[in-house]
Structure 1
Amino acid sequence: MADIKALITTVVTPLVQYPDDIKVDFKETTRYLEYNLTVNPEDIGRVIGRQGRVASAIRTIVYSVRVSGPKRVRLTIEDGQQKNS
């Protein structure tokens, strides 16, 4: 778990202007090991990239990590804005 968090942080840090705002949360569900990447709202475009190419590349790297057991890794990317409910 910590290795995947470190991998996500290592890949994303050079892409953003505000590396201190990078936050990776982990949640385990019945089917997935879910990682939620949160970045500064000004950096969301850099992390997603044109037509989602950068986000797709990040997901490819993260999904290629071998985990024990039947669970799969899932990565979601969010900006740091508060959601209005």
Structure 2
Amino acid sequence: MDIAALIKAIVTPLVTHPDAIVITPHETEDYMAFDLTVAPDDVGRIIGKQGRVAQAIRTIVYAVKSPYSKRVRLNILDASHSEQ
């Protein structure tokens, strides 16, 4: 299962700027991390009220069998954060 493709498939219908979705995988000592960057006005849509949407996305992503030997982690960023 391609985790990045799964994240994109989940997030695309939720945002108003699907062309601004960027998923950057990188490996840390403990995790295979995926940084999800969306347009600044879409961050609230991804996080949701009290973080419920973000938690639901993470639950799905973490539940999928991963081809990596490490645990998967999803970080949600906005475009203004990634440019700094």
Q: TM-score, normalised by structure 1?
A: 0.90
The answer for the alignment partner of 1:49 in structure 2 is 48
> Which segments of structure 1 move beyond 4 Å, counting only runs of 4 or more?
none
**How many residue pairs are counted as aligned between the two chains?**
82
TM-superposed deviation, 1:65: 1.4
> TM-score, normalized by length of structure 2?
0.91
| Structure 1 stretches lacking a partner, 5+ long | none
- Where structure 2 has 5 or more consecutive residues not aligned to the other structure, the ranges are none
Normalized per residue, the structure richer in helix is 2
Q: Which has the larger radius of gyration?
A: 1
Structure 2 SS opposite 1:45:
helix
Q: Is the Cα contact below 8 Å between 2:32 and 2:68 reproduced in 1?
A: no
Q: Percentage identity across aligned positions?
A: 55
* CA RMSD across the alignment: 1.4
Find the counterpart in structure 1 of residue 78 from structure 2. 79
Partner of 2:21: 22
